[in-house]
Amino acid sequence: MARSTRSFAEMFLAPRLKRAGSRRPSFDDNPAIQAIWEVICTIPRGQVSSYGAVARAAGLPGRARLTGYALRMAPNDLELPWHRVVGAGGRIAFPNASAAYKEQARRLRAEGVTLKNGRVDRSFIADL
């Protein structure tokens, strides 16, 4: 079987955005952002990973903040499983009373992830 030489944007982003009727994001030609989006898509349901682990798995060690930026800039049409990315030590990075915190906690619980005081149980942290 021949390996495809098409980029992540060509295989994954463009068809999804075309179906949604949206313009392509300006990040299609940014390999670092694409690599982070790819890694986030591989986090299994019911598991989480940290911003730093996602960056390392994307070949960008020490770039945890870039992971946060890539999530913030991702078009909604991508439907990235953003809720599976947490802070260091399994902590939800949003402020406790925020709508984003509540939404992330709700989504994680719906996938069977156990939370206690805003932290994910260590058994749910994926090795990427």
- Is the entire prediction scored with pTM above 0.85? no
Using only C-alpha atoms, what is the Rg of the chain?
A: 15
Portion of the chain with pLDDT greater than 70, in percent: 78
Please give the Cα distance from 51 to 90 (Å, whole number). 10
How far lies 93's CA from each of 20, 22, 32, 80, 127, in Å? Answer: 29, 29, 22, 17, 19
Give the residue, 72 or 8, on which the prediction is more confident.
72
Q: Which residues pair with 116 in a beta bridge?
A: 119
Provide the pLDDT for residue 5. 47
Please give the Cα distance from 77 to 105 (Å, whole number). 21
Provide the pLDDT for residue 29. 73
CATH number of 29-124: 1.10.10.10
Per-residue model confidence as pLDDT tens digits over 29-57: 789 999 999 999 999 999 999 999 999 99
Provide the pLDDT for residue 15. 52
Angle subtended at Cα 30 by Cα 23 and Cα 84, rounded to the nearest 5 degrees: 80
Q: What residue segments make up the domains of the chain, in order of their start?
A: 29-124
Quote the crossing angle between the two packed helices 64-73 and 31-42, to the nearest 10°: 90
Give the residue, 69 or 27, on which the prediction is more confident.
69
Coil, strand or helix at 115: strand
